[in-house]
Structure 1
Amino acid sequence: MATVLSVSGSPSATSRTARLLRHLDRRLTAQGHEVIPLDVRTIPAEALLGADFRHPAIVEATALFERADGVVIGTPVYKAAYSGLLKSLLDLLPQYGLAGKTVLPLATGGTTAHVLAIDYALRPVLSSMGAGHIVQGWFTLDKDIAVGDDGTLTVAPGPAEALAQVVDQFSEALGSRTALLAAAG
């Protein structure tokens, strides 16, 4: 089916956001998509903060975005916006680095006061980068994401069902896009 780049904008190695993305990656893989995870925190800080467009890690990340049919962008919400780490990477991508791509924005946070961060902070940036289709995003409260001692992730039933629906809508949009491209080619 489609190639999906699953991007975690969390600076934490034990992030609920990253774990939630990897959980959703498995659902997309089960639906037949090739999923490539990208944890922005693994890109060297000097490349991101120094805006080193030629750094091998930035070149590689840019190539991953180019290769993808769809992109899942996950971020924790800090001060009513997506993470600065994610912003640093998005700033280094080409102006239309999401041209024609189907994009699923996801966010996690401690309070429902941050629920609009997807629509008022992240969605405009994704749109300005040329995203072909931005599907309905989803915000999940930190309290609804539990990580067991063995690293397993559990999402509370209501949010888990909503996330499954959002991911399925994203997958369906990817399938439609892939079929259109195949018919045009």
Structure 2
Amino acid sequence: MSNIVLISGSPSPNSKTASIAKRLQKKLIERNHRADWIEVRELPAEDLLYANFQSPSIANAHTLIKAADAVIVLSPVYKGSYTGILKTFLDLLPEKIFVDKIVAPVVTGGTIAHLLSIEYAFKPIFSLLGAKEILHGVFILDANVQWNAKGEVFLAKEAEERIQRSLEDLLKATERKAFPTI
């Protein structure tokens, strides 16, 4: 059983990105993994804006990340990068908090032009935070995320396959980390 933290940088509670985070959390829990979810938009805005490192909410988020085997960072892409609220949160993380963590980006965007944001925006910040193993990541076009009549999110087949493959890669990596070969 792995301990995985999902960090959602979506500023909206009903966004496609937040729906994907909920879906991933549910899949992880169904497979008997611990899956904590940090919704950055739920953290006190004043603590984020004024870089309140003493905030109990921020300290709790740090504790969850430090205890994790893996971190999935989810964000919509605006102007070629992750959201401002996610940037504010990442700025409050200790410099090497991702050391010994497997990190996987999951990104949603309106056009394929945002695909490279994983390589040019996400991976560099993960490296600065100490991540040595950053998985390929998943970029999902907004058009490939829909809601059914019950308000449940579903992904286009190709997007579903890629998110499932990424989840499998993450779980295999956490297993390798837990049981290294000699």
TM-score, length basis structure 2? 0.96
**Amino acid corresponding to residue 94 of structure 1 in structure 2:** P
* 1:51-80: CA deviation from partner (whole Å, max 9, x where unpaired): 000011111111111111100000000000
1:26 positional shift:
2.1
Q: Corresponding residue for 1:176?
A: 176
Q: Corresponding residue for 2:166?
A: 166
**Amino acid corresponding to residue 144 of structure 2 in structure 1:** D
Q: Corresponding residue for 2:20?
A: 20
Equivalences for residues 56-67 of structure 1 within 5 A? 56-67=56-67
Q: Corresponding residue for 2:135?
A: 135
- 77-86 or 171-180, larger mean C-alpha shift: 171-180
Question: Identity percentage over the alignment?
Answer: 37
* 1:58-109: CA deviation from partner (whole Å, max 9, x where unpaired): 1111111111110000000000001111111110010001111001111001
**Amino acid corresponding to residue 17 of structure 1 in structure 2:** T
Distance 2:136 2:111 in 1: 20
* 1:108-135: CA deviation from partner (whole Å, max 9, x where unpaired): 0110000011110010000111113111
Q: How many residue pairs are counted as aligned between the two chains?
A: 182
SS in 1 for 2:77: strand
Distance 1:172 1:92 in 2: 29
Equivalences for residues 34-183 of structure 1 within 5 A? 34-180=34-180
- 139-148 or 72-81, larger mean C-alpha shift: 139-148
SS in 1 for 2:73: strand
Distance 1:173 1:22 in 2: 21
Q: Corresponding residue for 2:11?
A: 11
Instruction: Structure 1: state its 5+ residue gaps.
Output: none
Instruction: Structure 2: state its 5+ residue gaps.
Output: none
Contact 1:104 1:137 in 2 (8 A): yes
1:149 positional shift:
3.9
**Amino acid corresponding to residue 71 of structure 1 in structure 2:** V
TM-score, length basis structure 1? 0.94
- 43-52 or 142-151, larger mean C-alpha shift: 142-151
SS in 2 for 1:173: helix
Distance 2:98 2:91 in 1: 12
Contact 1:28 1:171 in 2 (8 A): no
